[in-house]
Structure 1
């Protein structure tokens, strides 16, 4: 039973592997995949992310005024995996080298809080409004959305899918998936 408890988080998968952009106190940008993210308010728009405390991004979030969130596509898996250098065991862990060699075009000027990936499904720029430590191995940061961009290749100006959208989703570890091609709409009551 104790072994099963250590794996309980796997029941909550798959989850989108979001790219979290931050800057350190010297302004050095970093971008990592994180699947522990959820909307926690719609008025105002707020999201919460949980980041492993031993990662550079966690340290950045302790001092940063904000962060970015990009939603990558399944086609960007190889690049996203490279960005998760500490997790994927990539040899390139220095943020500058990692961002230069990941294979994604980055926009470093769209948000003051960190880089975004314009070829993704869309991105958010969030100002930090709360930091929460529940004494676990992850720290929680809540950000209020200040900017949102919907990639017109995938989404309408209202954020609705134009066709089937295939975000990169992590099942567990190095196992990834995406959504099905079928879209189903149901009538409101």
Structure 2
């Protein structure tokens, strides 16, 4: 019999003040640092849901919508959006708050696929997900749709022959110069 957990039972919030040591030469927080924080919260959320050690299997598109400044308080919110047999899709929302003005901006969102592992590195079955509101249902359904799009993209990419003669016409409107 499958055990089920509510989405809210595994949700994790994490906040961190952005320091000069996290910034690039332009005074903005390194995207790589933000990705590292996102990976940590995805691990915490997935481990909380599964009760096991989890590894990152993939990261869906990460679009950096707005830069994060030194001195802002970054808050990340993670929840389990989808579960498979041993995998979980963790939805993460990143917001930055100007602590002087209280202004909050949405900086990015992403989806991390995490897999539960046992002590020997073998995949473990994870609890099912109990959906209790419209947001839970919408997030689960969108995860199914994203997964199907990923499968179709991979299939199309692997089935396509990318010989240069056949595809050179695709490059006509791009900033390239072909020299053979």
Higher helix share: 2
TM superposition score normalised by structure 1:
0.27
